[in-house]
């Protein structure tokens, strides 16, 4: 309260060495009314939009009336003294502000207040509950990313959401600028700072204090305020997420995989531990199937313990939730800037993680074997894989393409414990094609071929069935597989190449398959490697068509395709002698 003052009916705040004339935000009136009615409140919103100023003005006005404002972050003896005074006063309420206004003068110092909430929000809210039992309300002020801490405890608080207010920013600029440059100039500055969607109140203040002459470009003045705002946020983000190198590593990992669902991103931060436990679980589950009696039960107990450890690693922590709660704008840029800084300082090298391992860990821990099989079939039918427990790996009803690829490439994901489903494609989704024999291949191929008439069938989830049918099946099986590859909307390039080879062996027409292969792959090399001179005509056709497709954008690739056509036609020695593609200036 000692930083607030009132002169001539106007409220001021001392921000460092600068006296700031305060503009009461619309929130202040609502806040004062609800506190007097006894409501405990949590004020949440982006940084720099006037949350703390509103609470500070209400607290200062209450103190002027003789009320006691209890600091929930004070030490034990001071807190006890606050309570003693509150009992004697007519009105009192408690306050905790994670980033008070002083933050914008000394960000490194006052970011520790946010760190206090990060580490001790439960203790702070326990104090607030005690104050509430004494008959006094509380107000907690949090930026959006900190509102994920102690969320369950905050559920009993009335939530007041604050949004950026351009009108408030314009008034702040007008009242605090030492140079008057007219309403149009002020509008230009405020319009610029308002485009960033956060920090508008602080940036308007900074621009007002930085302005010296009216011939300065308002955009440049606003950009200077933006840089100052971002610099202060960077100090806060570093203290909040990366105060040490060990925490910085987790921060970097979570930031790298924030586009993935929380259950996967959280595992990525502990990838080595997750990978080790998944391998252990695979061995234990495999061993349990081979044992009987008490030995089997003992192995199952060990598997349950490993699964519980995986569950703990998979559970999204507050950092993952906090990072996920914010996206875009200046704050996003600051996160990336701090990430680069801590990478250099701590020598952090980004780890590549195997998403299949993380997806398998999820399936094992959630016992989602049936849902994995259903998701696999849904992908094959061109439908959403967000079914059952697999929906936890989706956002907005859609699964990330990288995660889909992890589920089906190079072959569909399976766990040691197969699904309990006993029929249909879901049953075969939990089996490898080698396990079920030709009868199983035919069932799968028939089901997919019939579905291709109604759905956009994708063969990638069942590519092993298709490839084994093409290579080891009898004549009927091979022809069914050829028809399926032709009719499917999506087929792996390797499967189409194998289908072309099989079609040549059976004397079947290859025109449709060749066109499909050119569209999907555009490189005759794999066909030439699989089939050689036996597929001469097909290779020539595919190579020339691929060259025509690549000629405009990738001329060297087109030249290489023409070489393949010549090699397949029997002119390999000529190609080797001159090697025209190696002389091409564009890399192939």
For 21-38, write each residue's pLDDT tens digit.
999 888 999 999 999 999
What is the pLDDT at residue 107?
95
In terms of Cα–Cα distance, which of 403, 380, 409, 381 is closest to 390?
A: 403
> What pLDDT, on the 0 to 100 scale, is given for residue 350?
79
pLDDT higher than 70, residue 318: yes
pLDDT per residue as tens digits for the range 77-113: 999 999 999 999 878 999 999 999 999 999 999 999 9
Three-class SS string for 124-193? HHHHHHHHHHCCCCEEEEEEHHHHHCCHHHHCCCEEEECCCCHHHHHHHHHHHCCCCCCHHHHHHHHHHH
Exposed, middle or buried, 391 (CB in 10 Å: 0-12/13-18/19+)? middle
Longest dimension (CA), the chain: 103
For residue 407, pLDDT over 60 is answered with: yes
pLDDT score recorded for residue 10: 84
Residue 53: what pLDDT?
93
DSSP letter string, 437-472: HHHHHHHHHHHHHHHHTTS--B-GGGHHHHHHHHHH
Domain range summary for the chain, segments of one domain joined by +: 4-161, 166-241, 245-359, 541-587
Percent of the chain scoring above 90 in pLDDT: 70
306 band by pLDDT with thresholds 50, 70 and 90: confident
Residues 148, 105, 161, CA angle at the centre, nearest 5°? 30
Q: Give the pLDDT band of residue 585 (cuts 50, 70, 90).
A: confident
How remote is the C-alpha of 194 from its chain's centroid?
A: 26
Q: In this predicted model, what pLDDT tens digit does every residue of 125-141 receive, in sequence order?
A: 999 999 999 999 999 99
User: CA angle at residue 15 from 14 to 16, to 5 degrees?
Assistant: 105
What tens digit of pLDDT does each residue of 203-230 get? 999 999 999 999 999 999 999 999 999 9
Pick from 77, 93, 145, 149: nearest CA to 117: 149
Question: Residue 587: enclosing H or E segment and its boundaries?
Answer: none
- Does residue 415 carry a pLDDT above 80? no
**Each residue's pLDDT tens digit, 442-464:** 999 999 999 998 889 999 999 99
Question: Greater confidence, 166 or 285?
Answer: 166
pLDDT-derived band at 586, boundaries 50, 70, 90: low
- In the numeric block, which tokens belong to residue 293? 């009696």
- In the DSSP assignment, the letter for residue 82 is H
pLDDT at 417: 59
Residue 473's pLDDT is 95
- pLDDT of res. 300: 84
Which pair of tokens denotes residue 395?
A: 């956002």
Average pLDDT over residues 7-25: 87
pLDDT of residue 545: 94
Topology annotation, domain 4-161: Rossmann fold (3.40.50)
In angstroms, the CA 133 to CA 40 distance is 12
The answer to whether 387 and 375 are in contact (CB under 8 A) is yes
**What integer is the mean pLDDT of 293-315?**
87
pLDDT of residue 416: 60
pLDDT at 303 > cutoff 60: yes
User: Could you tell me which of 499, 434, 497, 487 has the C-alpha nearest to residue 465?
Assistant: 434
Could you tell me if 160 and 44 are in contact, meaning their C-beta atoms sit under 8 angstroms apart? yes
* pLDDT band with cut points at 50, 70 and 90 for residue 7: confident
| pLDDT at residue 422, rounded to an integer | 76
Whether 441 contacts 473, CB under 8 Å: yes
Entry pTM? 0.81
Predicted local distance difference test score (pLDDT) of residue 521: 95
The rounded mean pLDDT for the chain is 91
What percent of the chain lies above the pLDDT cut of 70?
98
pLDDT of residue 2: 61
Read off the pLDDT band of 414 (50, 70, 90): confident
Asked if pLDDT for residue 287 goes beyond 90, the answer is no
């Amino acid at each position: 309260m000692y930083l607030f003052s009132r002169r001539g009916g106007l409220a001021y705040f001392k921000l460092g060495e600068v006296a700031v004339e305060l503009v009461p935000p619309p929130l202040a009136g609502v806040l004062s009314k609800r506190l007097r009615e006894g409501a405990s409140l949590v004020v949440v919103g982006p940084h720099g939009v006037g949350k703390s100023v509103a609470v500070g003005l209400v607290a200062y006005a209450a103190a002027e009336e003789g009320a006691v404002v209890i600091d929930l972050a004070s030490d034990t003896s001071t807190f006890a003294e606050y309570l003693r005074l509150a009992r004697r006063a007519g009105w009192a309420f408690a306050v905790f502000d994670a980033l008070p206004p002083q933050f914008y003068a000394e960000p490194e110092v006052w970011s520790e207040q946010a760190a206090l909430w990060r580490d001790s929000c439960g203790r702070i809210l326990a104090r607030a509950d005690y104050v509430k039992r004494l008959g006094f309300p509380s107000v907690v002020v949090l930026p959006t990313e900190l509102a994920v801490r102690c969320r369950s405890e905050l559920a009993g608080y009335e939530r007041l959401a604050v949004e950026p207010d351009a009108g408030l920013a314009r008034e702040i600029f007008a009242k605090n600028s030492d140079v008057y440059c007219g309403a149009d100039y002020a509008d230009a500055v405020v319009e610029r700072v308002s485009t960033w969607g956060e920090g508008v109140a602080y940036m308007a203040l900074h621009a007002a204090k930085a302005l010296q002459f009216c011939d300065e470009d308002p955009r440049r003045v606003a950009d200077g305020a933006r840089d100052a705002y971002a610099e202060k946020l960077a100090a806060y983000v570093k203290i909040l997420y990366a105060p040490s190198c060990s925490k910085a590593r987790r921060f970097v990992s979570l930031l790298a995989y924030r586009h993935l669902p929380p259950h996967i991103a959280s595992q990525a931060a502990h990838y080595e531990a997750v990978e080790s436990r998944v391998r252990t679980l695979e061995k234990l589950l495999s061993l349990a199937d081979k044992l009987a009696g008490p030995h089997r039960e003992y192995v199952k107990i060990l598997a349950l313990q490993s699964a519980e450890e995986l569950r703990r690693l998979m559970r999204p922590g507050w950092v993952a939730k906090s990072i996920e709660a914010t996206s875009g704008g200046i704050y996003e840029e600051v996160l990336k800037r701090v990430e680069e800084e801590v990478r250099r300082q701590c020598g952090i090298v980004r780890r590549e993680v195997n998403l299949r391992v993380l997806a398998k860990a999820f399936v094992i821990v959630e016992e989602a074997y049936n849902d994995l099989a259903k998701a696999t079939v849904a992908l094959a039918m061109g439908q959403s894989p967000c079914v059952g427990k697999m929906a936890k790996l989706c956002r907005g009803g859609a699964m990330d393409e990288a995660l889909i690829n992890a589920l089906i490439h190079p072959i569909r994901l399976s766990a040691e414990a197969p699904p309990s489903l006993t029929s249909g494609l879901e049953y075969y989704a939990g089996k490898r094609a080698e396990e079920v024999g030709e009868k199983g291949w035919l069932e799968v191929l028939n089901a997919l071929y019939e579905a291709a008439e109604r759905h956009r069938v994708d063969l990638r989830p069942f590519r092993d069935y298709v490839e084994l049918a093409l290579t080891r099946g009898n004549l009927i099986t091979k022809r069914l597989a050829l028809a399926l590859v032709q009719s499917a909307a999506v087929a792996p390039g390797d499967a189409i190449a194998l289908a072309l080879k099989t079609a040549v062996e059976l004397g079947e027409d290859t025109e449709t398959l060749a066109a499909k292969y050119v569209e999907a792959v555009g490189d005759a090399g794999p066909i030439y490697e699989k089939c050689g001179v036996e597929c001469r005509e097909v290779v020539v056709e595919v190579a020339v068509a691929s060259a025509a497709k690549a000629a405009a954008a990738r001329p060297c690739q087109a030249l290489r395709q023409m070489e393949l056509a010549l090699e397949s036609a029997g002119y390999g020695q000529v190609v080797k002698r001159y090697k025209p593609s190696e002389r091409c200036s564009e890399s192939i």
